[in-house]
Amino acid sequence: MASAVNPEFRGARRRLVEALQAGGISDLAVLKAIEETPRHIFVPTGVRHRAYEDSSLPIGSGQTISQPSVHARYLQLLQLQGHERVLEIGTGSGYQTVLLAHLAAQVFSIERVAPLLEKARDIVRECGSRNVSFLLGDGTIGWRQYAPYDAILVSAASPDIPHPLVDQLAMGGKLLIPLGDRDEQMLTMVTRLPDRYERRDIVPVRFVPLLGTHGWTSP
């Protein structure tokens, strides 16, 4: 893939990794995944020159690719060891999907917007990720067929925790989800324990709405 190994982009990825390290990202596996993943191929050509800035960018269908620092924070919080089964709600561009493919054994990703899913599937394949399965559908109900999951990442904002997702967590599994209204949310981690669910607020964030049966019902 010539564009991915272009020295200009390789240098830009290295500078991004250095900036993430300076910002507090210390998980070496996460940093390595970011350095090896060509973010520029996940964004439209018109904004490709901004691919390695720490900023969110439009990807079409009213959706965005999150800031690299947000992805890095998400992944560092999960502390993945490489053996996990992970569910991603909101494939979007497919960038986070590929990062997860570097960090986990199996990745299951759900997207509700067909054109986004089709494009992401092609790019993920181009990146060589072979441990990813995709589903077109309502992410708020999860993917029960392959549950339980060691980690579930939700890439859109929900007014409340979708109960089907916590039900699909393995014991000790973690759910990361932005919770709040449409304008601002709190990134929240829910951990499944033997007798309860532990909930912890992480940091204020802003995401597009999570649409579906157990999320927002309209855009």
Q: Would you please indicate which residues are annotated as catalytic (active-site) residues?
A: 66
d(CA 186, CA 73): 13
d(CA 82, CA 197): 24
DSSP string, 52-115: TSSS-EEEETTEEEPPHHHHHHHHHHHT--S--EEEEE--TTSHHHHHHHHHSSEEEEEES-HH
Query: Could you tell me if 132 and 158 are in contact, meaning their C-beta atoms sit under 8 angstroms apart?
Result: no
Instruction: Name the residue among 85, 76, 91 with its Cα closest to residue 104.
Output: 85
Query: Could you tell me if 107 and 132 are in contact, meaning their C-beta atoms sit under 8 angstroms apart?
Result: yes
How many residues appear in the chain? 219
Ranges of H-type helices in 127-178: 163-167
> For strand 85-89 and strand 106-111, is the pairing parallel, antiparallel, or unpaired?
parallel
Query: Could you tell me if 203 and 73 are in contact, meaning their C-beta atoms sit under 8 angstroms apart?
Result: yes
3-state secondary structure of 217: coil
